[in-house]
Amino acid sequence: MRHGQRKMTLRALAALMLAGACEAAIGAVCATDDRGEQVCLEQPAQRIAALSPGATELVYASGAGDKVVAVVAYSDYPPAAKEVPSVGSHTRLDLERLMTLQPDLVIGWVTGNPPAQLAALEDLGIPVFFIEPRTFDGVSSTIERLAILAGSEDAGFAEAERFRKGIKELAARYEGADPVPVFYQVWDEPLMTVNDNHLIGKVITLCGGRNVFGDLKRLVPRISDEAVLAANPEAILAGGMGEENRQWLDRWAAFPQLAATRHDNLYFVPPSLIQRPTPRLLHGSRLFCEKLDEARAHRANTGPGQP
């Protein structure tokens, strides 16, 4: 009898503890970051620090822009982000100023932020959610995960869906399009391009292009002028320094034997639209696809079979 009573008490105690645990868990939010670690907050984040320009864009896209209390240098989009206090550059963080802004969630960049400084933040008890989207799905899932942590699921999931749908539409439209051999120039000196695994490489494939350097092993290979001439791309697309700088394309104008030069297919794509893994990538991809359409139109003008 007494034994049973004790058992009862224990059970009641266990039930109470369980109830307590549940109570603590109510309002808690969890998401898995790009290191594969689960980050849990007792309640949705109210004060978010975004430690890369891309992270800032993604937090705004997830509908939590009004909760951003700290950004880093070059966080220029959306324009509202320029008004948020900066805590240094993504490579050298001013931890003092960051702590003073009292963030309850920090969005770190897996390979871009100094690991020692982010580890110091975690030691101080501030949850750090590491991101590094490398695919179209990565962009939309990052927006969703940030929305969960910030408690802005409605806006965030809608934006993620808009991005996902936009990419799907492009994929459907260009599925059977004539392949265009493309060279994308990431950098000028040294001359650099991307392979098929890079997000920009995926944009090329999405638009029905064929990356002439897609099979190279390195994500961002360094190549020579000769390799470009030998590959003879039909279209060359380049970023550049600044948003309106066609300078990098001038070097190719000197080679009339290049198909791209002959067909006048030297195009500038604003780097901020395509080099950041954020929702603006959809806009950049549309632009990219339009350029390849132009290249296909030029082909029709000069007759087929002459790439």
Partner 1 sequence: MSRLLAPSLLVLAGISLLAMALSVSVGSVSVPAGDLLSVLSGGGSKLHQTLIFDLRLPRTLAAFATGGLLAVAGALMQVLLRNPLADPYVLGLSGGAAVGALLAMLAGLGTALISGSAFAGALLATLLVFGLAHGTGSWTPSRLLLTGVVVAAGWGAVITLMLAIAPAQRLPGMLYWLMGDVSYARTPWPGLVLLLVVCLILFPLGRSLNVLARGPMQAAALGVAVRPLEWLIYLVASLLTATAVTTAGSIGFVGLVVPHMLRLVLGNDQRIVLPACALAGGTLLVLADALARVVIAPEQLPVGVITALLGVPIFLYLLYRSQG
Q: How far is the CB of 182 from partner 1 (least distance, A)?
A: 19
Task: List Cβ<8 Å contacts ≥24 apart for 151-157.
Answer: 151/29, 151/43, 151/44, 151/45, 151/64, 152/44, 152/62, 152/63, 152/64, 154/63, 155/62, 155/63, 156/61, 156/62, 156/63, 156/64
Q: Is 88 in the site for partner 1 (CB under 8 A)?
A: yes
Q: Is 224 in the site for partner 1 (CB under 8 A)?
A: no
Task: Give 67's contacts (C-beta < 8 A, 6+ positions apart).
Answer: 45, 46, 47, 48, 59, 150
Nearer of residues 112 and 179 to partner 1, judged by Cβ: 112
Nearer of residues 95 and 231 to partner 1, judged by Cβ: 95
| Count of C-beta atoms within a 10 Å radius of residue 305 | 6
Q: Is 220 in the site for partner 1 (CB under 8 A)?
A: yes
d(CA 156, CA 177): 32
| Chain residues 131-150 in contact with partner 1, contact rule CB under 8 A | 132
| Site mask for partner 1 (CB under 8 A), range 163-192, x = bound | ------------------------------
Nearer of residues 34 and 159 to partner 1, judged by Cβ: 34
**219, 192 in Cβ contact below 8 A?**
no
d(CA 237, CA 291): 8
The one segment of 50-58, 90-98, 161-169, 234-242 that binds partner 1 by CB under 8 A? 90-98
DSSP 87: -
| Count of C-beta atoms within a 10 Å radius of residue 92 | 13
Q: Is 127 in the site for partner 1 (CB under 8 A)?
A: no
Q: How far is the CB of 115 from partner 1 (least distance, A)?
A: 5
Q: Is 80 in the site for partner 1 (CB under 8 A)?
A: no
The token duo for 7 is: 């058992």
Q: Which of 31, 48, 93, 150 binds partner 1 (CB under 8 A)?
A: 93
Q: Which secondary structure element, helix H or strand E, spans residue 249, and what is its range?
A: helix 247-253
Q: Is 114 in the site for partner 1 (CB under 8 A)?
A: yes
Q: Is 207 in the site for partner 1 (CB under 8 A)?
A: no
Q: Which of 46, 47, 73, 138 binds partner 1 (CB under 8 A)?
A: 73
Q: How far is the CB of 137 from partner 1 (least distance, A)?
A: 18
Question: Residues 194, 165, 267, 52: is their CA dihedral positive or negative?
Answer: negative
Tell me how many residues contact partner 1 (CB under 8 A).
31
Closest CA to 58 of 145, 116, 125: 145
Q: Is 82 in the site for partner 1 (CB under 8 A)?
A: no
Q: How far is the CB of 200 from partner 1 (least distance, A)?
A: 12
The token duo for 107 is: 């969005």
Task: Give 303's contacts (C-beta < 8 A, 6+ positions apart).
Answer: none
Q: Is 120 in the site for partner 1 (CB under 8 A)?
A: yes
The one segment of 85-93, 154-162, 244-252, 254-262 that binds partner 1 by CB under 8 A? 85-93
Binding residues for partner 1 (CB under 8 A): 73, 85-89, 91-97, 99-100, 102, 111-112, 114-117, 119-120, 123-124, 132, 218-220, 222
